[in-house]
Amino acid sequence: MQALDIEATKKSIETLKGILETEFEALKNQEITRFEQLQEPKNSILEKLAKSNIFEDLGFEANQSAGYDSSSKSLDILNSSLKKCKDLQTRNEVLIRHKLIAIRETIESFAIPSNPLSDTYDKIGNISKSPTKRPRNF
């Protein structure tokens, strides 16, 4: 395993952390354009990490060794960094979910509910029967 690959992966993960932090700030400030601009670099880093075999290679080397060697240590560091990224992504998802709920509730508050007490008149001028029943106390 080359130390260059490990360092490049660490750098990619650090870049991903920065993107996730910036994404959170954009979401908090409702900067949707900025948020959308961050999706492409974030997805390219995730794709790069998914295609990389560094985690499998380090895991294989760590299993082959008798003790806690540099491969095990590198694997632990990378996994710890990725877990932080996962936590940041989860935080961003929760924020998005809360904002969507708030938007839905706002939209629902503008909707005009059907009034069961409203009466309509037919062509002759008589009150027509409403399909909904009135409360008994009226």
87 backbone dihedrals φ, ψ, rounded to 5°: -65, -40
What gap in Å lies between CA 24 and CA 88, rounded to an integer?
Answer: 8
What gap in Å lies between CA 132 and CA 124, rounded to an integer?
Answer: 21
Beta bridge partners of 128: 120
User: Are 10 and 48 in contact, with CB atoms under 8 Å apart?
Assistant: no
What gap in Å lies between CA 26 and CA 23, rounded to an integer?
Answer: 5
Q: Is residue 7 predicted with pLDDT exceeding 70? A: yes
Mean pLDDT of 5-13: 90
Domain residue ranges in the chain: 3-121
Q: What share of the chain is helix, strand, coil (3-state, %, to 5)?
A: 70, 5, 25
Q: Which residue has better confidence, 51 or 136?
A: 51
Q: Is residue 43 predicted with pLDDT exceeding 60? A: yes
Q: Is residue 127 predicted with pLDDT exceeding 80? A: no
3-121 sits in which CATH class? Answer: mainly alpha
Mean pLDDT of 86-105: 93
pLDDT, one tens digit per residue, over 55-95 is 777 777 767 666 666 767 888 888 899 999 999 999 999 99
Q: Which residue has better confidence, 135 or 17?
A: 17
What gap in Å lies between CA 53 and CA 49, rounded to an integer?
Answer: 8
